[in-house]
Amino acid sequence: MSWIAIGALALVGIAIPLAMMAVSALLRPSVPEQGKTTTYESGEIPTGSGRVQLNIQYYMVALLFVVFDIETVMIFPWAVMYRSALEAGVPLSQALAPMLLFVGILVIGLVWAWRIGAVEWTRSLRAASRKTERQNT
């Protein structure tokens, strides 16, 4: 019986936006002009290319943030259940090993990201010279 209410809510949730789009398509004025077809949104005349190169570091830091944010989300429930698991008689190694393995894999990933320079915003002259020395040998 409760599934009927969920189904009705889903139908209403789909029907309302569709009805709003249909009414909007019928009532809105259609005034085609060249300014509306340009690639820039505000009707301004675009200057230059639409393609802008961004520094890859932004994406690397965002990706690392997501990985370590998920780590926090995974560790929190484990930390909440850790004491009750020990009180229930689960051996310490069995309660601790999965999380240590998980954190260990993440530490290896962080060390790898650090070594390739994913967490460095600017390169120092000393680091650049060491890199060229390693490449020359």
pLDDT of residue 123: 59
* Residue 5 or 129, more confident: 5
Q: Which class for 85: exposed (0-12), middle (13-18), buried (19 or more C-beta within 10 A)?
A: middle
Structural domain boundaries in the chain? 56-129
Distance CA 66, CA 63 (A): 5
Using one digit for the tens of pLDDT, what is the confidence trace for 12-33?
999 999 999 999 999 988 877 7
Range 5-14 average pLDDT: 94
Of the ranges 26-35, 70-79, 112-121, the best mean pLDDT one: 70-79
Range 77-88 average pLDDT: 85
CB 89 within 8 A of CB 98: no
